[in-house]
Structure 1
Amino acid sequence: MRIAELSRASGVPAATIKYYVREGLLQSGIRTHHNQVEYSEDHVHRLRLIRALLDIGGLSVDAASELLGVLDTGKLTARESLGEVLYALGGRRSPVGEHELERATADVEALLTRRGWQIDPESSARQTLIDVCAALRLLGHADIVAAMDDYATASESIAAIDIGLVRDKPTVERMTETAVVGTLLGDTLLSALRRLAQEHVSQQLLPED
């Protein structure tokens, strides 16, 4: 298909497609003539993936490029690919003081010990959790920190579903894409489900007045 057809099939403007090619997010098509380039259904799928990462996942072009680079290597095991995805996603940092960070670090280390979770010391998610706990304590919400074990129990069940979906894919490439999509868009999915559940449960547990 030509770029105009690719644009219609994917819903992505032709100028944007050319931009993605320049940025390395999308492979070039096959040049058949001096001024003609042919694209395939693989390009349609890749464009849909790119738009999902950018529009729904909220990634920057650079971050999306990094994750797609993981997809394109084809040299990693499923476990290695998942690790690359998780670390590429990075984490947010919270501007809190040294004292709050020390207390929050102790909170997280205690949680990991209780759960028996084997986590790399350089894990970006580990640092994010420390920052969140520090911010929560600073805002006077230590009760949320105290509820982390309950959240961890629910999260471990979700992780089992995530890894099961990755494991069931027939190729490493599909495993890796599932890890990318399932982790990034899965966060958005879980956030939406959480809010829906809060709306439902609040009607049962919170008084109208």
Structure 2
Amino acid sequence: MRISQLSAQSGVPVGTIKYYLREGLLHDGTLTAATQASYDESHLERLSLIRALVGPAGLSISATRKVFETLDDRGTPLFELLGQVHHTTGPPISDEQDLRAAQALLDRWGWRCETDDLPTVGALARALDGLAAAGFELTPEQLDDYAARVLGIATEEVDRIPVDSPEAAARYVALGTVLVEPLILALRRLGHQHASRERFGGTTPS
């Protein structure tokens, strides 16, 4: 297909497609003339992933390029590719942050997470620090219960990752991480409302 057809099918303006080509995010088409090229389904799939990463996932062009560098290295194991996507869509981490308490929990649960590669270990550390600063520390048993429930959700999500193509897997992880987290938080808060109504109903404090 020509670039105009690629634009029509993908919903991406021609000018934006040319920008992605210049930035190396989208691979070149097959030259059919000095100034014309032909594009195929692989370009549609890549454009879908680009839009997911720079749109809902909120990645910069440079961060997206890093994902594609990993993606285009066909020797990269799928686990490392998905880790790169997760890393680029995750929260930042400070080099000065103390991760020992968070890492101790992960070790106790047997969760294999690399602190150098997963900034979310830092997010866990900040959450624990916040709880401690507010004097609202959870018991080890409560933390274990949270971990077990969340691991169940995460395991089901990982089982649904498509494996027919690296692009499809990366898109699923990027959107699943960025877009599903707010959904889970909203459902938790609505669950609190429902559970509170079920427990307390119309009772008033004595």
Q: Is TM more than 0.5 here?
A: yes
Q: 2:150 aligns with which of 134, 155, 162?
A: 155
Residues 32-53 of structure 1 show CA distances to partners (whole Å, capped at 9, x for unaligned) of: 1122222112211211111111
Cα distance in 1 for residues equivalent to 2:50 and 2:104 = 38
- Residue number in structure 1 paired with 2:180: 189
Bigger Cα displacement from structure 2, 55-64 vs 187-196: 187-196
Aligned residues: 197
* Deviation (angstroms), 1:62: 1.4
Cα distance in 1 for residues equivalent to 2:193 and 2:108 = 30
Q: 1:169 aligns with which of 141, 163, 174?
A: 163
**Does 1:60 pair with 2:57?**
no
Cα distance in 1 for residues equivalent to 2:66 and 2:86 = 12
Q: Please say if residues 20 and 26 of structure 1, whose CA atoms lie closer than 8 Å, have aligned partners that are also in contact.
A: yes
* Deviation (angstroms), 1:9: 0.8
Amino acid across the alignment from 2:182? S
- Residue number in structure 2 paired with 1:20: 20
Bigger Cα displacement from structure 2, 56-65 vs 78-87: 78-87
Q: 1:118 aligns with which of 112, 119, 122?
A: 112
Percent sequence identity over aligned pairs: 32
**Does 1:180 pair with 2:170?**
yes
* Deviation (angstroms), 1:145: 8.8
* Deviation (angstroms), 1:2: 1.6
Residues 142-185 of structure 1 show CA distances to partners (whole Å, capped at 9, x for unaligned) of: 3469754333222211332233234x725xxx2x4354223321
Cα distance in 1 for residues equivalent to 2:120 and 2:19 = 31
Cα distance in 2 for residues equivalent to 1:150 and 1:85 = 28
Amino acid across the alignment from 1:180? A
* Deviation (angstroms), 1:14: 0.8
Q: Please say if residues 4 and 14 of structure 1, whose CA atoms lie closer than 8 Å, have aligned partners that are also in contact.
A: yes
CA separation of 1:158 and 1:177: change in aligned 2, threshold 3 A? farther
Q: Please say if residues 49 and 167 of structure 2, whose CA atoms lie closer than 8 Å, have aligned partners that are also in contact.
A: no
Q: Secondary structure at the match of 2:112?
A: coil
* Deviation (angstroms), 1:88: 4.2
Q: What is the TM-score with the length of structure 1 in the denominator? A: 0.77
Q: Secondary structure at the match of 1:56?
A: coil
* Deviation (angstroms), 1:89: 4.0
Amino acid across the alignment from 1:189? V
- Residue number in structure 2 paired with 1:29: 29
Cα distance in 1 for residues equivalent to 2:74 and 2:7 = 27
Q: Please say if residues 91 and 128 of structure 1, whose CA atoms lie closer than 8 Å, have aligned partners that are also in contact.
A: yes
CA separation of 1:137 and 1:60: change in aligned 2, threshold 3 A? farther
Cα distance in 1 for residues equivalent to 2:33 and 2:43 = 19
Q: Please say if residues 57 and 184 of structure 1, whose CA atoms lie closer than 8 Å, have aligned partners that are also in contact.
A: yes
- Residue number in structure 2 paired with 1:203: 194
The equivalences for 1:29-108 within 5 A come to 29-93=29-93, 101-102=97-98, 105-108=99-102
Higher helix share: 1
Q: What is the TM-score with the length of structure 2 in the denominator? A: 0.78
Unaligned stretches of 5+ residues in structure 2: none
